[in-house]
Chain A
Amino acid sequence: MRLSRAEYKEIVRWTDHLRPTRQCMKMLKDRFPHHSQSTLLSIFSLEYQKRIKRTISMHRSPADVERYFQRYLSEAEARPTAPVLLELANEMDLSPALMARIILDRFLQDVDGGIPSKTVLNSMLKEPSLIPDQILANNIYQCTINDCCYGPLVDCIKHAIGQEHEVLLRDKLKEQNLSFLDENQLRTMGYDKTPDIILEVPVAVEGHIVHWIESKASFGDDHSHRTYLNEQFWSYWNRFGPGLVIYWYGFIGELDCQRDRGILLKDCFPTDIVTLCHATQQERTPEAPKEDKEWKKGIRRVADEKPGKKLNV
């Protein structure tokens, strides 16, 4: 879904005061009924991450950490079965998973007498049963499963979504009889930069030559697009020429301004692929819409439901 910057800004303004709760997500959907759910949620997720990045330092000062820890200890003592840590995080307007991390970090300092290693911390967050304290383990578990933006589970889901879209992309390419090299093949061949797909025989999309395709299972906003451009897209261009970026969850339309320079943005797999052999296109055209519909349905299924469920806290 392609949004104008104005539309995007309006959504962002709205998400600004939202909490990552189910009610808030519902409000957002109701407010923007014409926008796809997945797009809205992806935008919110990105915005929420930005917000957290801005504010996280306020929660990491030793004094604050100590305050949270003491508060947790006292509350957990008072109500051992209640999700006190989750409540604390919500109260402090901090991501539950991050709160869990801060508290666990502080807890381990008391246990081990030193700063715990990241691997230990991560493995305990992933597997709370490893935490020596039963009550804390419970609380941490509740935090990680109830966080929609952070935490090992979310990371896992995000990774899966990314993979799924790459698989879908590959399937689509194969369906179109387009021969390509994927990231892994490229890496083994010694490429220094590897897009998701390099087409062995370039195609044209909307009149633009495409040598490579990068799949992004997120919304393309200014910040992320700029980062991607600098770190990935231009580097791909520098090596392989013009290419295509698919932001499956949409992007700000205005960002698609580098077409003539060799970076084309799409929010779905292109339907009007022109290949070097004329007929491939001509003969496929009749089938294309149908396929496309199915394809889009598939994507929508992935796109619409998954983030929604993800946020069903």
Chain B
Amino acid sequence: MLRKVDINTVLGWLKDVEGADYQSFTEPEFTVQKLEFVPFLLNFLREQSSQVLTNGPATPAKTPSHPRPAARTQGFSDKLAGRSTSSGAGSRSASRVQLFSPAPSVSPGSESEAAGPSGLSGVSAFSSPSFSSTRTPSPRLPGSERRCGQRVSLGDYMFSPPENSPNHQSHKGRKKGGGSTAVGGQLRHEGGRGDLHSNEAGRWEAGGRRSARGVGGGHTRMGEQVSPPFAGQLNLNNLEDFPPVGSSPISPATSKPSRRINPTPVSGDRPHSKPKTCFTSTPFQKASSPLLETEASDGLMTAGSSMRLKEERELLKREKTKRAQQVASPLLSALDPCTPTKTGARTGSKVTSDMPTSPEPSKVTFSSELDVLVELYCTCISENLVPNIFLELFFVMQLLTSWAHHTHDNEEQKSLCAANTEVLERCYLRQVHNCVYFAVKVLENQFQLIAHLDKCTLRLLAENERVACFSPDLRDRLTQAQDRSTAKLSPSASTFIHSVPFQPATDNRSNFFSDKAFHTFKKQRDVFYEVLREWEDLHKEPGWSFDAALGGRIRGIMSQLTSAGNHSHFARLFLKQLVQVCKGPRPSSSSVDAADADLLGMLGADSLGRLKRLEERLIQPHGVVGPCPPPSFPGHQEFFRDFIQTASCCQLNQHLQDSLCQQLLQLDEVSILSPADEKQRFSSVLLLARLLAKFLGFISFFPYQTSGRPSRDIQETSVALRSKVTSLPVLDVCAVLNNSIRRKRTILTVPWLVEFLSMLDFIGPLLLCYRTTLGSLLLLYRKLQLNRSEEMCYLNKLLLVSVLGWLFQVRRDTRMVQLKLGINALCLVSVCSGEFRKLLAAFVSGSTARSGGIIRKITPTSAELKDTPTAMRSQQKLQVDLEQAFFHNQPPSLRRTVEFVAERVGSNAVKHMKATLVRELVERGEKMLRDGLESPNSNASMLNESICARLCEAGLEALAKATKYCDEKSPEAIRVLLPDETTPTVKLSWGHASKMTLCLLCEALVRREWRSKYDRVIKVLGSPKQGSERVMCCPPHCKHNSPLPSDILIEIKVHFSCCN
């Protein structure tokens, strides 16, 4: 079908529905179909490529395939399991269930007809309307008619009347059983919508009618019968859950009935994913996916046993056994973590079997079909129809870096493909050529998104030989984008941690109520750091246990705290240290520097280090976790989490909570004038807020955490209990969110709220306040579309899409694996680009190891990096570090003052220069130009150049003048603004001011000269001497010629002893 249908129509259709939504255009067929179409498409792609990905050799490039995002891994394994046990149709739906929500595919409701039992034919059914619409100018009515016709035929083999009733019965029976999985899925599905739209019922009736109309008598009955139970279920079980959301005052923006939202598969999926942890009650949640599938597929299978199905099953079985043979061994290993030995072993075995194929554009088959697929797929991404954009990007990267070796030769492949008359059965993505072709095309298409990835990822992509081979144009664009890219990955926890500076204003004796408290805290501070250092050194050692090693000392601190009443001091230290270590990118380092450092870090100073790092990355069992890792506490955060757990000190927790809450609300109120100016500040605030919110969430929900999902009874009791608790929850998330939406500050609030909510315990989402908040967030998410030009800018939307997508993805599977949500500062795209990068880096080393050339690809770039004076680079870095270090131990007000002064003075200097010297220069230049032009044989351009050169020379004077200006003005300002004892900082502020001035004044080249010049001036002037001369000081120019006291003493001693 994919081939047959006119692509533009489908695209139009996909987009049109969107448009239709906005226009409140009611066309249930479309909406429901799209709901089905997208999951189908995505699953189709996964399934198609599963061969290549799971079958890939055990090279690093393959690593991605096993530690896939939880949802997908599960999907794959389940699918494979399903293949061996059940029929093809079952496995198909199974995989779909996994990848997407079971709701659209499994539930026996109206949708299941198309997407359910026989995905293959179902698709042809829903593709038809668009197909027909190509031919008819007014497609709607004829389209639906035509489709009806097709659907009948489809329905014939899908549900013949006699089989319909068993199906229905089984459905009923399950429902009676209390929370059947299938109904659960559907219900959740329904509920997810119900909570958001009051006009749901009408739509669903329409949907029901549609199916009835389409499928015929038996189906009419079923459609009608099915719908009411849903309503009933909704009312009975979920009404208590959902109405509050629906009825809650949703902000004006969101309350607009947005028809679009309903039909998207996203909406079908997300309500499910969320309910799984958020909205539904136990039975549904307990329905673990495998159970769900088997049950569902069983039911459906027994129901649909038509001839056609059998045929299909046979066909698929054959196919499956064939595949199973191929897959069997790699699959086993694929499930294991990739250990070095294993890699080696497998690589060995692979070598013996056959060499991997490198993809070639010429070997791509089905290219026109692939193009169609690409178009469809990209539209889904662009329209935010996919559950999570980054999941899809990750998938594309996997395709790009996939390895496949021919276990069967091309001939067989071809015959297999050709023999397959069923369009969908063709192996579009069976071969690595096709995969890469597909991936590259998608990347080309989604360039806008890709271009926002971080520099390293872009670099890796641009240097990927496959990209270069398949699309030199894309490579060029990537290279360009790389230069433009300011996105950087938040560096992993730096090797060097800063301590919390001792500030006499808050830390000296006068801040404690007794000497004892003061001295106790002194000891506690040291023990705290001692514990932290020990953790750093040892926590990765096998068999090391936090509690066993550090528990005693931590509890010691706690008991001392209690006796001394130092909790607030300790909480402050604890939080400050947390922020210090875990906040991520340092706030003031300029983005360029950081990006460079990042690059350096990535590539290493020498190839050895680089190789080592790559190796480490490959050896790590969790090398690639996928773009949606579950929430966790990476790096040093783990220490703080474990500390809180081990200390389990309620007083401390209370202090921490209070402080976190206060800081968060403060941060949330931070005024950010214009994002362009305050990029740095915004990203720093955002990162900080996210960190704090995560810990606030952790501490707040810690008391309620259970190892497993509680039973329904317990759940109800807890909900009742916790809802009635009169005391307010720690943070009024609802109010915060609503307030933020009203004030259009979601870009700051939502990311940290997401962090907070990701820490929810099992019961948490059932509580009114969190339920409401999650509902609002969901609404917000659905409204986001990257390509729509709204008032929100692209990056902001991308940020929201990524964090919300993450939340709804993560809270869907409850397994705790590992989190690395390295969300970046402002260009937050890099949420998962780290993972992309790993994937790509793995590919690089994999491919080089394969081709025998050692780091063929990286060496030239590193050489190029080395060419740039590393000494200077490190000097610059050192300067930045020094500045950092200076401000670190000073009160924050100092920094603000200095920056303010620098900015103002710099700006004034520029104005001054402009008004005086520059104008004069320009006038002089003008005169010179005129004179020159009057002379007979004059060349304007040459004249221009020479004048320019002369002016630039004269312009250097401007630098000197500006310097002088800054030198004169900034100390004055600083002196007035800062307390007296900070004199030496004056010098510093000059430096800073000058830097700012430079940025405004000069071009990059001149800047350096100017800087050294300026510095020399500074040197000449000398910095104000600190009046710290003490009595013991020698007078100036003392050569220390007088004998030292100790010498005299010794002489005396010797003299005495000799005399004796």
Contact = CB atoms under 8 A, between A and B. Distances in A.
B1053 interface: yes
A70 interface: no
A209 B882 contact: yes
11 contacts: A142-B1057, A145-B1057, A161-B1046, A163-B1045, A189-B504, A190-B510, A201-B984, A201-B987, A202-B882, A282-B1012, A283-B1016
Interface stretch (A47-55, A104-112, A129-137, A177-185): A177-185
B1033 A170 contact: yes
A239 B499 contact: yes
A20 to B, nearest CB: 13
B22 interface: no
Contacts of B987: 201, 276-277
B387 to A, nearest CB: 43
A80 interface: no
A279 B889 contact: no
Given A279-B1015, A302-B1044, A207 B878 contact: yes
B525 A238 contact: yes
A201 B988 CA distance: 8
A126 to B, nearest CB: 13
Nearest to A161: B1046
Contacts of B507: 190, 192
A237 B1044 CA distance: 32
Contact of A309 (B504, B521, B1054): B1054
A180 B259 CA distance: 68
Contact of B1050 (A168, A191, A202, A309): A309
B885 A200 contact: no
Given A191-B508, A209-B882, A276-B991, A182 B1047 contact: no
Interface stretch (B415-423, B835-843, B1024-1032): B1024-1032
B881 interface: yes
B1028 A181 contact: yes
B446 to A, nearest CB: 41
B983 interface: yes
A164 B1045 contact: yes
A232 to B, nearest CB: 10
B501 A179 contact: no
Q: Which 5 pairs, one residue from A and one from B, show the smallest C-beta to C-beta distance?
A: A190-B508, A279-B1015, A179-B984, A239-B502, A160-B1046
B494 to A, nearest CB: 10
Contacts of B988: 201, 276
Given A192-B507, A278-B1012, 14 more contacts: A145-B1053, A161-B1046, A163-B1045, A171-B1033, A179-B983, A192-B502, A192-B521, A192-B522, A234-B526, A240-B499, A274-B875, A276-B987, A277-B1018, A278-B1015
A277 B1044 CA distance: 34
Contacts of A146: 1057
Nearest to B1022: A177
A278 B1060 CA distance: 59
B591 to A, nearest CB: 21
A93 interface: no
A11 to B, nearest CB: 23
A151 B1057 CA distance: 14
B622 interface: no
A200 B1050 contact: no
Interface in A120-176: 141-142, 145-146, 153, 156-157, 160-161, 163-164, 167-168, 170-171, 174
Contacts of B1053: 145, 153, 157, 309-310
A277 B992 CA distance: 10
B655 interface: no
A312 interface: yes
Contacts of B518: 192
Interface string A47-88: 000000000000000000000000000000000000100000
A167 B1032 contact: yes
B871 to A, nearest CB: 11
Interface in A15-32: none
Nearest to A212: B889
Contacts of A282: 1012, 1015
Nearest to B495: A260
A276 B888 contact: no
Contacts of A238: 499, 525-526, 528-529
A241 B522 contact: no
B1023 interface: yes
Given A190-B509, A279-B1015, A209 B889 contact: no
